Amino acid sequence: MGDVLSQSEVESLLAALDSGAGPGASSSGGGGPSSGSRMSRMDDGLSQISVYDFKRPERVSKEQMRGFQALHEGFSREFGAALSGMLRTIVEVKLISVDQLTYSEFVFSLENPTCFNLLKADPLEGHLILDLNPSIIFPIVDRLLGGGKDGSSNSFPRRPLTEIELRLVARITDRAIECLRAAWANICDFKPRVTQVESNPQLVQIVPPNEVIVLISFEITMGEMRGIMNLCVPYNTIEPLAGKLSANTWSSYTTKQVDPRQALSLKVGAARAKVGLVVEMATAGLSAGELMHLEVGDIILTDKDHRSPIRVFVEGKPKFEAFAGMVKGHKAIRVGKVVVRPEDIVDREMASLGEKPKT
């Protein structure tokens, strides 16, 4: 497995790309592979080598990774707009990568000290991590305190945040949490909140070191200042939502509002629809021979008493208990009570827990 780049190395690569001189640029202007590419020259030509770790198989599918990317592209736009309004300057938030790696690789790739926010994402089990690099946090704090435009991205102090600075950074994380909740609205109505803020990322162990996590990285740019924001999502936390991430529920960024007129028309039309109703008087078992010799007028004995309730089926599903009788010379039934099915009990319990029942 290749080495994990540190935060400073990632920022150096981004700065080199912006200046037009990438790490793999060639002075001769040729199209040869860069020094960072994993290539191997063989007798029959050039062949690319892909690294695969058998001890850590890919747990998140490509479709789910595309779902993460679509979700957080919308998040980056909303968060950038929120920061721009709060800081009264143009702030750009850009999604730069969505990767899966182990928790230990993520932790050891971060700067120390940093702004390491531990999020509890109810009702999901486990925690998320929102990491803000000091290279962009200190310029934002300086801006909130009325600082000028002087300075560069390398002028921030190498120390943990003070109590006052942490309170100011909490305004940034609160905006990020609001935008994150809106981005995930179609997947899960979760309410993330900050439970702990650390400067040393190695002091926080939310999952085992070899546990797979999804790392979503953003680049925040404010003028000449730039820095990285990382969102760490452990796979065991979002495993119950894996099916929703694979479906098309993530394709719509905002929840669609129901048209009241359309809903009322649907309700009125459904109320007029005819349904089939069947009354089951009794059941009995017959052999094939007895069935073949049945004649008109024969009586079939059942074990059901005439005073016992009978079942009423609506579209093939038991709905009511009733009693047989006569009304004005016509055969009739009197509805007794509604039949409670096991799935109805499950739906009722799930509704009490805040979950939507399955239809």
Domain ranges in the chain are: 56-251, 276-281+307-359
Residue 219: the pLDDT is 92
CATH class for the domain made up of 56-251? alpha beta
Q: How is the beta sheet containing 91-102 ordered, strand by strand?
A: 91-102, 212-222, 225-234, 127-132, 115-122, 191-198
pLDDT of residue 336: 82
pLDDT at 230: 92
Cα(51)–Cα(2) distance, rounded to whole angstroms?
A: 8
The C-alpha atoms of residue 228 and residue 94 are separated, in whole angstroms, by 10
| pLDDT number for residue 196 | 87
What pLDDT was estimated at residue 27?
41
Residue 175: in which H helix or E strand, if any? helix 163-183
Q: Which of 171, 189, 169 shows the shortest CA–CA distance to 85? A: 171
**In 10 A of CB 89, how many CB atoms?**
13
pTM score, whole prediction: 0.54
> How does pLDDT run along the chain (359 residues), one tens digit per residue?
456 677 777 777 777 776 655 444 444 444 443 444 334 444 444 556 766 655 555 677 788 888 888 888 888 899 999 888 888 888 899 999 888 888 888 888 888 888 889 888 888 888 888 998 888 888 888 888 877 554 444 567 788 888 888 898 888 999 998 988 888 887 877 788 888 888 888 888 888 888 888 899 999 998 888 889 999 988 888 877 777 776 555 454 445 566 788 888 888 888 888 888 888 888 888 888 888 888 888 888 887 777 788 888 888 888 888 888 888 888 888 888 888 777 777 777 777 776 655 55
